[in-house]
Amino acid sequence: MHSGRAAELGSRGGRRRTVYSPQGLKDFAPPKTAADLRDLIAQSIIEIRTGKLDPKIANSISYLGTGFLRALEVSDLESRLRALEARTECDDEQSEKSS
């Protein structure tokens, strides 16, 4: 009655839902810099292409990486602002002493 089309579609759907095992993935320390994140994303690309990493997980890594980079930028701006404020306070104190 049906050709093998239903079985083929079911098989395709099953492959799509395959649970990937983290055993074959390379271990990475949590990224602390943009360069660390770059290396993690590069390794993820390789693992996607070899079928070791689920593209959905890679998408999550990419999404989290975007937030991580933003947090790095804000953290850098905060430390630079703190340094400028400290220097301004020192300059103000020196101005008051010389007046």
Report pLDDT for 15.
Answer: 57
Structure tokens given for 90: 């020192």
Report pLDDT for 76.
Answer: 95
| pLDDT tens per residue across span 7-44 | 776 666 555 556 666 676 778 788 999 999 999 999 99
Give the pLDDT band (50/70/90) at residue 2: low
Residue 68 region by backbone torsions, left for phi larger than 0, else alpha for psi between -120 and 50, else beta = alpha
Pairwise pLDDT comparison (19 vs 98), residue with the higher score: 98
Pairwise pLDDT comparison (13 vs 78), residue with the higher score: 78
Pairwise pLDDT comparison (86 vs 21), residue with the higher score: 86
| pLDDT tens per residue across span 51-70 | 888 899 999 999 999 999 99
Task: Say how many C-beta atoms besides its own lie within 10 A of residue 57's C-beta.
Answer: 15
Decide if 48 contacts 85 (C-beta within 8 A): no
For the chain, give every domain's residue range: 29-98
